[in-house]
Amino acid sequence: MKTRFFALAALALTLVACNNDNENLNGDPVAAQFTANIAPATRASGTTWTGGDRIGITDIGNDTQYGNVPFILKNGKFEAEGKVIYIEDTNPHTFRAYYPYNTTGGILAATTDATAQQNQPAIDFLFASGATGDKNNPVVSFTDKTAKGGEDNSFHHRMSQITLTFEAGDGVEFNVVKPERYTLDGLLLTGTFNTADGIATADNGAQTGELAMNLADGVLTSSIILFPQTVASLPLVVNYKGQEYHATLTMPEGALQAGNNYTYTVKVNATGLTLEGCTIGSWTDGGGESGEAEDLGYSIQNDGSYMVYNAKGLLAWNEAAQKDESINCTLTDDIDLTGKEWTQIGTWPGYSGVFNGQGHRIKGLNFSAATTELFGLLNHRGVIKNLQLIDVNLYGSNGSAAGIVDQNEGQIIACSVTGEISAYGRTCGIADLNYGSITACWFNGTLKDYESGAIVRYNYATITSCYWGGNVGQGAFRNEGGTVDATKVDGATVKWQTAVDAMNTALTGNDYQWALGTGGLPVLQKKQ
């Protein structure tokens, strides 16, 4: 793509017809000559006129003879390509013109998908009309004459443009790695351009789609050309270092208007995206409007999994998981749920994804429900691992309450719970019912002493190298034919360091292990 910019200078080009033996100024037909400006000087694609560019010109009153006549740029001038437009009478003639030239003219169908964006001049539709000429004055001027009290007959952009400039925000440097690509969703990507009236129209009957744009190495400003369309906001996803960062672009006036360029500055922060501002204006004028994007607290990977770094992001994943219980979730930071309303995850057939805490903590989980746990049912394919729940306050108003899950049929690995758990009925530190496996987990806190089990209430499968402290008398309230390896930390014969050593032995294949923290309780750390 050519990148020669002339932002301030008006580009005036003379369109000169080829000499012809019929041309003279003594009463015979006169070849029309044309001058043309683009308002502004540059195309939406960011390039100037280029040798070989072709425009179509029509004599509006004589379109049967001189309709859609091609002119081509050669040596800095537009010349008639084969057919010359002649003014054969003394009447004034009015002309229109469009870019880029198409042999059939009429209504042109086009798409603005990612492939089309690679050749933006082909979809940067320009239109000019109203310029006049006659036999005595055959120079037809497609220029802006308003400064002299005339009309604006210059070429104007008939599409819309969005320009994004990416900047490094808090905790991010672009010195080595820059954003790789971005995606805008909810767009009408197909439409038509009418070469007779210059109106570009989105296909409102089409389904909206996404436009994914790759960013060339080192390029931090990207422009796309789109059909004008009604749209209040557009979801924006930026891919940076293999993660997806989400924001929303708000459209002023609720639409993309013809001839307008919508410019946003997108800051990529370690915790998400912010939009510093948005300016709106035609490519000729200017103007401005500011806006700010919301930090969503998560990013989405190519496989649909969530990377979550704050409470807002975790609640967003929770909402998504209510509809699709296979969505993976990975924590990239500690989460504070204090004052937040949590909805239990996992109805039949249960959560089947992987929830990986990556050693991070969720604190402040405080809610009451009929049965109260972080997860309801964990499917046999589901995994919860490397997670610490700190200072929970849970109450089961009409049944059980447990820290991690109500019924486990999958795998719970390297998880812990501290705090207070009570219920109208049964209480458990990790799970109420275990039909799967629980490995290297621990509980330390207070349970209501009614059918309580520090690790599980009823065990039907396998508990391996688990430990507990607090007021509870047994690791499993009842073992129903399974295997229970759960030990109380009494501070005398069994200490938390003992628990750490034993749990890590069971975590040979796990990427996180336990270490004794400064508070005397185990904490997770990345395996060295």
Shared-domain flag, residues 140 and 168: no
- Residue-level pLDDT at 11: 29
- Over range 218-228, report the average pLDDT: 92
- Residue-level pLDDT at 435: 98
Shared-domain flag, residues 181 and 316: no
- What is the C-alpha separation between 511 and 525, in angstroms, rounded? 9
Q: Tens of pLDDT along 430-473?
A: 999 999 999 999 999 999 877 899 999 999 999 999 999 999 88
Shared-domain flag, residues 132 and 180: no
Shared-domain flag, residues 429 and 516: yes
Shared-domain flag, residues 23 and 133: yes
Shared-domain flag, residues 487 and 368: yes
Q: For the full predicted model, state whether its pTM sits above 0.85.
A: no
* Domain assignment of residue 6, yes or no: no
- Over range 308-316, report the average pLDDT: 93
* Domain assignment of residue 27, yes or no: yes
Q: Tens of pLDDT along 383-434?
A: 999 999 999 999 988 888 999 999 999 999 999 999 999 998 889 999 999 9
Candidate from 260-264, 266-270, 390-394 with smallest mean pLDDT:
266-270
- Residue-level pLDDT at 38: 60
Sheet of 181-187: strand order equals: 209-214, 181-187, 233-240, 243-250
Shared-domain flag, residues 269 and 408: no
- Residue-level pLDDT at 36: 57
- What is the C-alpha separation between 333 and 243, in angstroms, rounded? 15
Shared-domain flag, residues 117 and 182: no
How many domains does one find in the chain? 3
Shared-domain flag, residues 303 and 410: yes
Domain boundary among 110, 126, 157: 157
- Residue 50's domain is classified under what CATH number? 2.60.40.2620
Q: Tens of pLDDT along 280-300?
A: 334 433 233 333 345 678 878
Q: Which domain holds residue 170?
A: 160-282
Domain boundary among 232, 254, 282: 282
Shared-domain flag, residues 448 and 386: yes
Average pLDDT, the chain: 85
- Residue 203's domain is classified under what CATH number? 2.60.40.2630
Question: Where does 397-495 show beta strands of DSSP type E?
Answer: 401-402, 405-408, 411-423, 427-428, 431-434, 437-439, 442-447, 456-459, 462-470, 476-479, 483-488
Q: What is the CA radius of gyration of the chain?
A: 34
* Domain assignment of residue 122, yes or no: yes
Shared-domain flag, residues 141 and 204: no
Q: Tens of pLDDT along 8-51?
A: 222 233 333 333 333 333 457 887 666 555 655 444 454 466 78
Q: Is 463 helix (H, G, I), strand (E, B) or coil?
A: strand
- Residue 439's domain is classified under what CATH number? 2.160.20
Shared-domain flag, residues 349 and 459: yes
Using an 8 Å Cβ cutoff, are 395 and 422 in contact? yes
